[in-house]
Every structure is written in C-alpha cells, then in structure tokens.
Structure 1
Amino acid sequence: MKLAVLTVFKNEADVLPAWLKHYEDQVDYFLFRDNESTDDGFKIAKNHPKTVFIESVEGPFQTNMWDGLIEEAQKYLSHEDWFTIAAPDLFPFYNMKQEINRVGLCNCIETHYPIFFFTDEMYKKYEVDRKYRQQIDKFDIENYKYFKVTGRKMPLLIKNVFNNGIDLMVYFIQNS
C-alpha cells in the first residue's frame, strides 16, 4: 500500500522543511501546487526526493485546487493505495499507514490534526509582523503535542477508489 500527500501551499518556506521531515518516513509521494508563493517554498518542495509532481497555480485559494492533484496522483497510485489532503500547518501525530491497516474495509478515515495557525489573528500577525515570523521560524515541532485541536473535522485519509456503487465507509480517529 502506497500513501501520497496532496498539498496546496502559499508562502510556507518557513515550515516546509520541518513538515516534509515529519511526513517523509510515512509517505511514498508528495504532490504539490504552489499558490503564488513569493518565498522559497516551491524550491524546497521541488527538491525533496519524494516529490513526484509540483506546479504553480494562480488566483485566490480554492478547495478545487486539489482536484488536479487527485488526477495527477492517479499516475502513482493503484486502487489499493491511499492519499491524504494536507497543508504545511497540519501535523499528524500517529502512524498514518498503521491506522489505514487497522480500518479494514473502510475507505475514508476522518481525523483531527493539530493546526498551528489556529486563529485568524495569529495568521494575520504572521503575515505582517517580521519579528513574529522569525519566532515562528524557530519553532520546535515537539511543541505541537501541546496544542489542542481547534480545526473542524474533515476526511483527510482517503482510499484511491472510484465510486462504483461503493458506499463511503468512514472510520474516526480522535487525537488525544
């Protein structure tokens, strides 16, 4: 079973190295869309050895930007493989493949991830405050274990199957 990470990002060069390191032992492929970054995020993502696809996209972020990544992932994934839709501020603190193997016949795993930029205020401050941005650059990934889940639930691990009359069977994971 293979696992691909599909990611749309913008100006995430500060967190991408730690994020890639966090994921790289669990996944087989990274597929990216860079949404008009003005930092080195494109270069960082492109140079990772597990990156199999990266392209730039223009315009305001829309969730359908992942559609092209799902289509592109078909070149690398079989019907037994899985993908996860992620962002560089989402860090799973469990073994994704182990959880997939536990769920049996399910084809979608609904989970929570700790979210680093968990408020609009934090994100706005990050965008405009250089000193704050520098503090974030020094963050320690171990600090994530202290964050409470603040995001909404969403299906993030999805089996690479096409709907041929198959019911969606969902398994729920709750990070503690």
Structure 2
Amino acid sequence: MLKELAVFMVILGPLQGFLSLEIEVFQIPEVHATTGSDVFLPCTYNVSGVEEATIGSYKWYRNLVKMGQEVSDSNKDFSDRMSKADAAEFIRARTAYLTLHNVDPSHSGKYICQVTFQHGKEISAFGNGTLLNVTDVAQNLKTFGVCIMVKTAGLLLIALTGLFAFLCSSMLIP
C-alpha cells in the first residue's frame, strides 16, 4: 500500500504544477497621444504554477479580441508603424509591449494584449485593455485657444465690474 502511494505521489507531483498553470496579464487603462507621436502600450504578465515558462508568445488586438483587428505587420493599418518586445524580452522581462509609431486619430481604440504559453496544452490570458485616444494637434491648440479666450474674457469682466463698483462708491462718498 505504501509503495502504491509513493508511485501515486511521484506521478501527481509533476502534474500539480501542470494543472495549476495560471497567467495574469496587466495593462494600463488609458493612454493619450497627439497625431504624429509614438505611443508605448505596456503589457506585463505573471506566470504561476511552473518554475520557468519558456515556450510562449503574445498578440495584440484592437477593439475586439480575436474578431477585432490583430495588430501586426501583416495588417495594412499597422505595417511599418509598430515595434514589439522581442522573444528574449518577452520571456526574460515578462513584457509584451507594443509601440505604435506616427499615430493618427484613426488609431484610437481599445488595445488588448493576449499572452499564450505552451505547457502540455495552450494556455492564454488577456489584459483588460488599454484605451488609446489620439487627438489632432490642431484640435488641441484650437481647444486650448478657446479656453484661454474664455478665461481672459472672464478676468476682463471681473476687472470691469470692480472698476465700476469703485467708481460708483467713490461718487457716493463726498
């Protein structure tokens, strides 16, 4: 009986790590950028249940996972406009970042990072997504200009009201 139990423990020991492999993927919720800039979208992960996971990969999707646009060089919207963590960085630093170059407002959307490992079977996890908001520089300047004009008009109105109050009070005092 003890011999059978020992054989069972020897078999179950390696399977325990195999059965409990878990991946957690982390993304920041939001990134803002202006037209023409480069945008860094971080994605990090933790793997538990194994000492070292070495067979893995990652993908990025825009707006919808799997049914949405895969962000890759084969996609005309992202070809020659992106760079990603290489395989060594992915495994060693546990990073799956994406950098988009020369963005424009059409790149706005939710970017979702998927991390996959092979450990007997394929195991994947997704981040919660990062919302990228790309605005045109001219639009930002226009909004900023309107803001400055409104504040200036408000300060001018306050100054004129103060001057009027001063003049009125000085006329009432002999």
TM (norm. structure 2) is: 0.27
Structure with bigger strand share is 2
What's the TM-score once normalised by structure 1's chain length?
0.26
